[in-house]
Structures are given as structure tokens and as C-alpha cells.
Structure 1
Amino acid sequence: MRTFCCSGLLYLLALNPITGWAAPQKPCKYKVKESIAPPNGWVKHTTPPADHNIVLRIGLPQPDFHVLEQHLYEVSDPYHPRYGAHLSKEEVDRLVAPHQGSVDAVNEWLSSHGITEGGLSRSSAGDWVTLKLPVRLVEEMLNTTYHVWKHDNGDRIVRTTSYSLPEDLHDHIDLIQPTTMFGQFKELKSTIVFSDDTEAPAQFKNLAPIVNAATGVPVDASCNATITIKCLQQLYNAVGFTPTHAGNSIGITGYLEQFANIQDLQSFYADQRPDALGSSFEFISVKGGLNNQTLSEAGAEANLDVQFAFGLSHPIPGTFYSTAGRPPFDPDVGTPTNTNEPYQDWLDFILSHPNPPLSISTSYGDHEQTVPKSYAQRACKSFAQLGARGVSLMFSSGDGGVGDNNPNPATQKCFTNDGRNATRFIPLFPASCPFVTSVGGTVGVPEVAVSRFFSGGGFSDYFARPKYQDKVVRKYLEALPKGTYKGLFNRNGRGIPDVAAQGDRYRIFLSGQARLIGGTSASSPTFAGIVALLNDVRLSNGQPPLGFLNPLLYSKAASGFNDITVGHNSGCGTTGFNKDGIQVTGIQSFTGLGTPNFGKLKKLVS
């Protein structure tokens, strides 16, 4: 027998010998767990039906995450004796599992409301509990009241602005959502930019190749107008390299009904990679995600990602994940619709997989402040789990410069959504997570920062600057003119992006037609393809894959990048961060360490 405070009652628990769950006896005290002001644009509208279902996600603490983080940095540091000694799925699960006391406390709380083990699901490590409940029961459990909230644009959502838990549960639960996360489930705002042109302009044809000063490799002049697989191989010194190791792999994530069309992929291969004709990718559905093959339903984002990531890394086996669902978020004035991705659903799935792809690219992201900090931190810890297992994760840094690249300063929306409405640069998440590699964009030969749109970059407000980039970021900040953008960014935050790659005028096939497309959503799968090639070098030498890249990139491999010396990342009515006139190499601004030189990197990583 033992006492437990739960659901507003003090319970005397007679434990079930099989489940350990029990039933209530006496009252106890609630305490607010989280409370927010209603976000801009939302007003209470009506009361939801009592039987309206909510899929509730309960995050249990990960008390040993600091141990996992230590392992992650040791196995990712090329100068550490444990470099490359990645952990197994089972080892990672043990390091992020909640204490049994937390599991028991949550079980008992759920049992007090009639919820049994059969009515819920648990993540691979047991750190997330997911269940579907009617709103009337959720209100009782959280001592709160949900409302239908209406946005200025007419959208509606069922949420609350505050929820409470019994005091004894506060140490056993990190967060519960959806509660205070407001969202509007509409189409994705990806980091993608279109062009109606499909061919290189005549003035670029029949010109002599341009010798890339950074690599010494000739690059077709047409690459100044149209990016192909051949251009990327030339630009990044990967001409003639053919992957051979059977154990290699690469993956692309897809969200919000973005379908990767196989017929378009074959047209792309016929156009740019004829040796890959007839090959395809493995499709994996997450949470009921689809990959419809009607040509008219082909997704620009999905086609771009799979065509260039898999085309550049052929014949390395590729996997395309389609995740269904649209998650909640706190909207800011610059993001009035739901542009977050269901990262946690995909993460739960991939973390349960014994052999995830070794190089994975995601071309979606959102303003960091639109994702509640508690949710962002938990998702970031999930990325760390993958890194510890030997997976390299790439994310686009975004196309908004330091926040909003709207050319009209009067309509740019660069201010906080915390009630202060303070002017602020807005970094992108998940790119701001220190456990992923953020990829910015370049254009042209020689490469400069993109001019038709602006490579996202800046400094996180959620995550502190990690040790691996401390030296280079400090040098850059010291080189900035004194007082530059004082108060507009967090000088102690994690800097993004880490690296860069071409980001404009990629020639893809979409619904049977050639199109030119751009955005850092092109840069990320390109860099992921290069990482897959580097993994092939290591695997062929009997070495483990690269895994979490950043400690390597900022140290031993830093000389394997082409520094970008020209450009800036405008936004928020400013020119953003820049390199113009700043004589510091390898700086962190809008292109990070620069673009990859595969010829150098394959020697540095082997």
C-alpha cells in the first residue's frame, strides 16, 4: 500500500500485482503546469462537444539525457578515442527512458480516470504516452476548460490557454499537448521557390567551362543558370566517384501530402542520370501517410528532394517517408497558418526502427518562436538520439534571411509573439536544434549567397551556442561592426546554418514537365547526398558511418569546405548578416562553413 496524489485527489493505492495501476480514494491539490496568453488573432468562439476527441501526447522526463548527450559528443568527436562507436537502439532507449517512478505515477493517474494499458500507446523508449480521449475527460484530468478558438481568418481549433496537474505529478511529466499549442491545419509553407524557366538561357550555352578556383575542377558555364546532377558533381569535386558499399543508405522525409512520383523520377533519371533508369526508392508510410502516384498529385518538394538526393547518391538505396497529420503550434503574426511538421510522429517511428537510413534530409521548417519551447526541446532531444545511433540529419535553414524576406519593409513581420511585439530576427526550427546540421543556400559559379531569395540564418533564441561552434562564431561576432543589430538576436545562441550548397534553379521533373525550382529545400537534400557519398568512403574502408556531423565539420573537416566570401541574408528591413568586407574564414552567418569539397572531405573523413 502507498499514497499518491492524483487527479485532484489523494489516493490510497492497493496496487494490482500485474499492472501496478490502482484506484482513487481522497482529494489533493492541483498546480498550473503551463499557461499562455491567447496568441494574436485568436478569440474564444464556442464550447466543443463533450465527446470531441483529442489525441493527447504526454511527455515523461528523460532523467539520463545528459548521459546520452555525453555519449553523442564522444562518438561524434573525431579526436576522441570513441569516435564512431555509435550506440545501438536498445542502448539509446535505455538512456532516454523515464524512471519507473514516473511511469508508475502516470499509470496510476490514468487509471484513476478509467484509462488502462489497452487504451494507450508508448514510444520505443517509453518516454511518450499517446492516447485518444473525449475533451470532457481531458478537461477533468487537466483541471481546465477547452474552447473552440476562432482565428481572424475564420479557422477554428479546440485548445486551452492553461492546464494543471496534481502537484505530485509535476516532476513526472514534462509536457502535455495539444493543450496550449494553437494551430491552423492548412497547406505547408515550405522553404521552396519556383521558377517558370526550364532551360539555361542561350547566353550560357556553348561557353567554355569555368574552372572552380576552390577545387580546380572545370564547371559547365550553364550551371550559372540551371543546376543538374552533373553541375553538383563538378561544383563539389565528386566527378567520377561511384558508391559501392551495400550497407549504405539515404532517406528523405515528406509531410503534408507531398507525394514523390516515380514516373517523374524516371524522367529525371533519363534526363540527368541515365545509369539510374529503372531504379526507384523504398516507400514507407508513417501514421497513414500516402504516396499517391497520380501524376497530377506529384509534389514539388517531394520530387525535388528524392530526385536530387537519390540522383546524386545513386546507387545507394533510398527511402522516402510520408508522414500523415499536421501538428499544433503557437502562431505568430508571420505564420497565421499551420506550417509546422509532425516531427514527433516521424521521430517516434524512426526511433523504433532498428536500421534507419544513415543520411536523412528534411526540407521543412518553421519560425522557431511558432513552436512552443518545451515541444522544440523534446523534438531536439529525439534528433540527438538518432545522432548517437550513427544517423546524420540535415535540415534546410530556410528562405527568409534573418526572418522575413518580403521586399516591402512595411509588411515584414519580424517581431515576437510573446505579448511584447518586440522587433526580433526569427531563426528557423528544427534547423536551430544543435543536434542537426543546418544547410543554407548558394548560387552561381563562383558561388555566392543566393540573390533571388535569401538563405536563412541567424541565432537561436531557444538553444545555447554549442561548444563545437563556439570558436568560429565568436570570431564572426567579434568581426561585426560594434552594435550591429543590438537586441535583434541572441548573441549566445546556436548559430545557423552550419554548411551550404547550391539552392536555386534546380532542374526537376514535376507532373511530367521539366521545371526549375529553388530554395534551401534544394540545398539540404544535396548536402545529404554528399554525406551519403562520404559514408560510402568510410564504410568501404571498414569504418563506421559519420553520424552526427557537426563536431567533425567544425574541427577536422573544416578545411574541406569552400568558403563563401560574398553576400548577405537580408530580412526584417535589414541586410542581415554578411561577409562583405569581413575578413574571417569559416564564419557563421548565412552559409556557415561553406560548400563541400568532396575530394578533400573524403580524405579528411577516412
Structure 2
Amino acid sequence: MRSLSVWLSVALATVVIAVPSKDGAHKLKESIPAPRGWTKSAPAPADHIIELRIALPQPNFAELERHLYEVSDPFHDRYGQHLSKEEVESLVTPEPESVHLVNEWLASHGLYEDSLSRSPAKDWVLVKVPVTLAEEMLKTEYHVWTHDASGESVVRTTEYSIPEHLDDHVELVQPTTMFSRMRSLKTTFHINDVQEKVAAAPAAAPPISIPSASGGHVDASCNQTITITCLQQLYNAVGFTPSTKHGNEIGITGYLEEFANIQDLQSFYADQRPDALNSSFTTVLINGGLNNQTLSEAGGEANLDTQFAYGLTFPTPGTFWSTGGRPPFKPDTITTTDTNEPYTEWLDFVLSQPKLPQSISTSYADDEQTVPASFAKRVCAGFAQLGARGTSLMFSSGDGGVGDGEEDPALQECFTNDGRNATRFVPLFPPSCPFVTAVGGTIHVPETAVFFSGGGFSDLFPRPAYQELAVTKFLKTLAPGTYQGLFNPNGRAIPDVAAQADLFRVFLSGRPVSIGGTSAAAPTFTGIVSLLNSARLEKGLPPLGFLNPLVYAIQALDPTAFNDITVGNNPGCGTPGFNATKGWDPITGVGTPNFGKLKDIVTLDFLHIPGL
């Protein structure tokens, strides 16, 4: 860990008023071809405001990664010994020289400390500037680009440069070359006026025999409508009540003006969880996020996530973060600010908090290829910081099968975005980040892989060691030449796990609706993880933290701890996609959770379990 003198040097470097100086020669930092599906129109308005986000290198990130894997590996004697906020920050804080030189560069353009903001570890610098100044600083030209299919617009450039002497001190600057279109992941969403009849119709049918379920059976109604009771039965969690005495919490992220409605939550509780009536959750607003409680403004995604995550884990305290901002904007006189991906705004906020929920669910993503590699890697590094502090992060794997996230295969455009327009499967980010747990989807009882479950292999992140055994086994099942050139067999494999992902009974604007998508699977699996954390904390054990090394270790040693899904496929890009099969597969990962078995495993001291 860094000494006090280093911290003092960094602190002094952040407040020094640098003497303005000329930038000198510039060096090209990043250049991309014109992005596919976007049309460049007029030059960006000179007074349009851009919030530049400047990343300084994290010289000791490799050390942070080492710590992360050691405290997340059930075979390691440091398992569960998560780092503090201060310890994590000390490992990602930039060198004082980098801070000083970037300060000097900004000051040369009239940007001093009072006009800047910084991330908790000082590894990001944010400054709002007009387009004219951004163009001067980065020796580039910004234009308004319009997405052909949606009509959404962004102010972006396809290349930028920085002063040559800063090349080793600035990792990236955005928004510049990022043409992503963040979206929530839901494949079906429809108001069902006959929902009451649909839910009640199968009540007389005999229960479905499922040996791994609580009591060995699941209500027949669960093949038409998924409720909290269905999930508790199916995932062997009936009868477990989490404790509120040991600090366990669960968090849900909300983006794209999605508001979780309290009145709808009470309707949901009255319908499915009456013991939770009159309870609620904490809403935290980030980056101009809102909390519109007008019933007609309720968000389907936000309601789905909060109702099922908090319904599964009641009475565990819950937090819903409403984060403002999105990359696309309409360039008019009302909207004058262009923003980065709101993941980073959320990350800056939560990393600054001394205490974090132990499990967090996110149901939003971009096509991996639309996010610049430098930016994706830095965001992924932010997720690693949360994991090192003991937080489990779940992301839905996508709703386009092996395609680009479009639910309708006929609308998928499975082409590379690098100017070659080559046919390629399209993984999503952040699920492709190796430091998060990607959640795929299933349907019906007995469970099969749901056709839209996103899955495949990252083109950006290499396969992590914790996946090597399971994924290699799967790849050996493929016939030689299967989908050759369409995916990267050496990439980080998606997803890691799965859960039910369709026919969820949610209340929206006062009415029951049916919602599906891996956006339902993520909060469901997160709820199970939260219950596991409650069981561990009650035993005096630390929270699970970064899950993946443990998930794959358990699956290898006790496959019955996850319900292996062996039926189904995830078509996309004009192909049948991959098949669900024994063991790990790129549709459902290692399978869906058996809470009862997992609880028995994770409440033991791993280091003293024979064979583990």
C-alpha cells in the first residue's frame, strides 16, 4: 500500500495552480473508421457543452487485480478478506507526475481546479467545455452524428490527439469516439388485461415434479406466470428469511429515465408478498437522476427490477440508484449537454461511498463493439474495484441471442463496426467484463434455455482463468469449424449463470403486466445472491464479493448446486446460435441456482472443506 508521503504528493498535485504553457506537438491518441449505421451531418454547434472525461493511468491496477482474485478465490487463504475503500483507492491512484502534467495542460487552456471535478481516486478528471475549446485541446473536429435506425444523435469525432508529452499520462478522453446506444434489456413487455385469469387458470393442475425444488415440486401456474413464490419454489428458497441484523443490503441501478414507482410496489406486495406491505426502499439520485412518482411515468424496467429483487429478499434493505444522462441526445436549444455512458457517473458515486450494498443488479448494456476498447477496459476496472471491496455485480447477458441485442432476429445487424463490415456475433458490454457476473435466461418448468438469452464470447476481453476448464469443455463439444470466424473462442465467455427470464408478473402504472428478458433474470439471481450473503453474514462470514471464481469452483466440484440447463438454443445473426448442453454453455452458463445447496456450501469455511 502507498505511504502517507505519496498520498500527500497526490493531494498537493491536485491543488497546484499550474503555470499556463503551450501544448506543443500533438500525438494521435485514437482513430476509428466511420461507425456503421451512423450518418455525419453538420459540424457541432460551437457553444455546445461537452463534459470531457479524462482518464489518468492506474499504475498499480495489476496489483489490485491480484488482490481481487486472491480474496475471491475459495482455494486461497485470503478468501473473503476484502479491501477497504482507502486500500482500493491507493491501488488505482495515478502517479503525482501524471496529475501535475494534466493539471498543467488544462491550466494552459484556462481550466483550473475550481472548474474541474475528480473521481474518488483522482484517476478521472471531468471538465465541462464548449465544443470550440474541446476541438482546440484535442486537435479534432466534432460533428453531429445521427443513428440511422433510431434518429438519435450524438456529438462525436472519429479521432483525437493529445499533447505528445502527455501520451503516457492520459489513457483516454471521452466523449470522442464512443458511438454506443445504451439500452435496457427486455425482450417482451405487454399489458395483459386477462392476467388475473391467466394466473388463476392452472391452479387446479397438479404441481410439477422438480427434484431440486423446495419440497420437490413447483406450482403448475409457474408455466404461465412467474411470481415470487414460483422463484422460491424453483430455486429451493422456500422458508428462508434473511436477517436485518448484520448489515446486508441489495442495490438496483436505474438509467434512461426509468423510475421505480412506490405505489406499484405496494400493489405488487399486496399481490405476491403481503408481509412486505408498507415497506419500501431508498432512492438515491446521481448525475441529475430523477424520481418521478407519477403513476403514469413508472418504468417497466425499474419496476421489474425493484419488485422482484426486493420481493425475493424482504426484509433486506434495498437501494435504487436513479442515474441521469445517456449518450444520445437531440441537438436543440433545450438539450445542450452531451454526456458519457452513465455507468461511469454511477461508478464515481458508489466508489466514493464508505459502505456499499453487497449485491447489485444491472439490466442495461451496449454492443461491445460500439464501446471503445480503452473506455470499456477502464469501466471494467471500476467494476473490479467494487468486487475487491466485497460487492457482487450482476449484469443481464442480453436479449438478442448471439446477435446485437435486437429482440427480433430479422432486425439484427451482425457486422463488425471496424470498417470491414464482416459478419460477426455481437457480445454485449458490460456483461463481457470478466469482473462481473453475466446472467442468462431460462423459461418454463422444467427449465429450458430461453431463445433470446444473450451469450457468446468477448472480442475484447480474453478468457479469464476461472473459466478455462468449463469453457474449454464446451468448445470441445462443437463440431470442427462450427461458426468459424463468427466468434472469438479465446474470449471471455458469456454468461456465467442463469435464471428465469420470461412471463414475470409485474405491476406497472397500477396494472398487472407480463415482462420478460434477461433483465428479469439479473435481479432474480441477484436476489438469490443477497439471500446467500445474509446466510453468510449471520454466520459471521464476510459477503461473497466477486462471484465468478467461486461459481466455477462450485460447479466443478458439486454440479448439483446449480440446475444444469441442457435444452434450448439462442439463435441470432442468421444462425441457430449455440446449444444448451451439459455443463457450462453460452446461453445459461453453469445453470440456475439451487439456493438450499448453495447456502449449505457458502456458510462453511471453504478452507477447511475436503476437496475445496
Tell me if both proteins adopt one fold, taking TM over 0.5 as the criterion. Answer: yes
How many residue pairs get matched? Answer: 575
Q: Which residue of 1 aligns with 2:597?
A: 600
CA contact (8 A) 1:341 1:365 kept: no
Which of 469, 472, 485 is 2:470 aligned to?
472
Q: Spell out the pairing of 1:127-166 with structure 2 (5 A cutoff).
A: 127-152=123-148, 155-166=152-163
CA contact (8 A) 2:244 2:315 kept: no
Q: Give the structure with the higher percent helix.
A: 2
Q: Which residue of 2 aligns with 1:433?
A: 433
CA contact (8 A) 1:557 1:601 kept: no
CA contact (8 A) 2:499 2:522 kept: yes
Give secondary structure in 1 for the equivalent of 2:285.
strand
Work out whether 1:230 is the aligned partner of 2:229.
yes
Cα deviation code 1:295-343 (max 9, x no counterpart) = 00000000000000000000000000000000369xxxxxxxx999510
Distance in 1 of aligned mates of 2:550 and 2:98 = 36
Distance in 1 of aligned mates of 2:24 and 2:444 = 66
Work out whether 1:376 is the aligned partner of 2:376.
yes
Q: Which residue of 2 aligns with 1:520?
A: 518
CA contact (8 A) 2:21 2:108 kept: no
User: 1:50 Cα deviation (Å)?
Assistant: 2.9
User: 1:29 Cα deviation (Å)?
Assistant: 1.6
Q: Which residue of 2 aligns with 1:221?
A: 220
User: 1:49 Cα deviation (Å)?
Assistant: 3.6
CA contact (8 A) 2:404 2:414 kept: yes
User: 1:188 Cα deviation (Å)?
Assistant: 3.7
Which of 37, 41, 48 is 1:45 aligned to?
41
Cα deviation code 1:143-202 (max 9, x no counterpart) = 222233345465543222211111110100010011122367xx9453341244424367
Give secondary structure in 2 for the equivalent of 1:554.
helix
Going from structure 1 to structure 2, the CA distance change for 1:328 and 1:434 (only over 3 Å counts) comes to farther
Give secondary structure in 1 for the equivalent of 2:554.
coil
Q: Which residue of 2 aligns with 1:194?
A: 189
Work out whether 1:536 is the aligned partner of 2:570.
no
User: 1:437 Cα deviation (Å)?
Assistant: 0.4
Give secondary structure in 2 for the equivalent of 1:263.
helix
Range with bigger deviation, 553-562 or 394-403: 553-562
CA contact (8 A) 1:245 1:539 kept: no
Going from structure 1 to structure 2, the CA distance change for 1:465 and 1:339 (only over 3 Å counts) comes to farther
Q: Which residue of 1 aligns with 2:5?
A: none
Cα deviation code 1:381-421 (max 9, x no counterpart) = 00000000000000000110001587986653111111111
Q: Which residue of 2 aligns with 1:566?
A: 567
Cα deviation code 1:262-318 (max 9, x no counterpart) = 000001001100100010000100112111111000000000000000000000000
Unpaired runs of at least 5, structure 2 = 1-11, 330-337, 604-612
Q: Which residue of 1 aligns with 2:579?
A: 578
Going from structure 1 to structure 2, the CA distance change for 1:48 and 1:398 (only over 3 Å counts) comes to closer
Q: Which residue of 1 aligns with 2:7?
A: none
Distance in 2 of aligned mates of 1:162 and 1:587 = 40
For 1:179, the aligned partner's letter is T
Which of 483, 491, 509 is 1:511 aligned to?
509
CA contact (8 A) 2:57 2:171 kept: yes
| TM-score, length basis structure 1 | 0.91
Give secondary structure in 1 for the equivalent of 2:534.
helix
CA contact (8 A) 2:14 2:113 kept: no
CA contact (8 A) 2:243 2:534 kept: yes
For 1:573, the aligned partner's letter is G
Distance in 2 of aligned mates of 1:17 and 1:486 = 51
Going from structure 1 to structure 2, the CA distance change for 1:432 and 1:150 (only over 3 Å counts) comes to closer
Q: Which residue of 2 aligns with 1:73?
A: 69
Q: Which residue of 1 aligns with 2:54?
A: 58
Range with bigger deviation, 143-152 or 226-235: 143-152
Give secondary structure in 1 for the equivalent of 2:312.
helix
CA contact (8 A) 1:255 1:341 kept: no
Distance in 2 of aligned mates of 1:207 and 1:46 = 63
Work out whether 1:253 is the aligned partner of 2:248.
no
Distance in 1 of aligned mates of 2:54 and 2:480 = 45
For 1:194, the aligned partner's letter is F
Range with bigger deviation, 134-143 or 376-385: 134-143
Q: Which residue of 2 aligns with 1:239?
A: 238
Distance in 2 of aligned mates of 1:285 and 1:299 = 16
Going from structure 1 to structure 2, the CA distance change for 1:24 and 1:47 (only over 3 Å counts) comes to same
Range with bigger deviation, 138-147 or 188-197: 188-197
Cα deviation code 1:500-530 (max 9, x no counterpart) = 0001101111100011111110000000000
Q: Spell out the pairing of 1:266-281 with structure 2 (5 A cutoff).
A: 266-281=266-281
Going from structure 1 to structure 2, the CA distance change for 1:340 and 1:308 (only over 3 Å counts) comes to farther
Which of 72, 83, 90 is 2:86 aligned to?
90
Going from structure 1 to structure 2, the CA distance change for 1:403 and 1:41 (only over 3 Å counts) comes to closer
| TM-score, length basis structure 2 | 0.90
CA-atom RMSD, angstroms?
Answer: 2.2
User: 1:377 Cα deviation (Å)?
Assistant: 0.7
Distance in 1 of aligned mates of 2:252 and 2:511 = 22
